[in-house]
Amino acid sequence: MSDEHFQGKYEVELKYRLESKTNFLNILKNTPHEVMLEDNLESDCYFDTPDKSLHQQNKSVCIRTMKPSGIKLWIVKGPEVDRCEATNITDAKSAKSMLETMGYEITLKATKTRSIYFVGKFHITVDSLDGIGDFAEFAIMTDDELMLTAYKSELETLASKFGLTDSALQTKSYKQMFVEKYV
């Protein structure tokens, strides 16, 4: 396992709704892979300004805590679809307080159960969102903007090995799904 999987300012990601998480995991079991973590509970706090200026700019700021792994992240996405940066933090409570001190407010709290696997240079996350469903994200992080199209094609090929097709592809972020379902 390596942090190299999560280095870069761009993320190429394909998200698929799973008809059967069990079938997906059975295919994974027969695919060479490494386990980073399994069945972690992720709690995300999304922040924005009172006038929702980040949302209007297609940007997202999130503080994520993961249990039992103990990982804590500060995540910024946007404004481009593939733009995503994350950094490890040691004190999520202080990070949230700092954002609130700067005038940001929590606009959404969301939780999911997540497992992360490495298949070659790619990472696959398997997520369960209560009331929304099960998903698999095939992704890679990079600083090389010229590789985005090639990586997308490679990810589509990998996903097809799991029986996933464009009909299962999801374009909404988890944040959007939670907002539509619960806000």
Does residue 46 have an active-site annotation?
A: yes
Of 16, 46, 151, 174, the catalytic one is: 46
Phi–psi pair at 89, nearest 5 degrees: -130, 160
Cα(78)–Cα(57) distance, integer angstroms: 8
Peptide bond into 32 cis (omega under 30): no
Cα(114)–Cα(133) distance, integer angstroms: 12
Q: Residue 153 is encoded by which pair of tokens?
A: 């094609």
Close Cβ partners of 164 (under 8 Å, ≥ 6 residues apart): 16, 136
* Alpha-helical regions (H) of the chain: 21-29, 53-56, 92-101, 148-160, 174-182
* Side chain identity at residue 50, one-letter code: P
Residue whose structure tokens are 């993961």: 66
For 57, the enclosing helix (H) or strand (E) is: none
Q: Which residues are the active-site residues?
A: 46
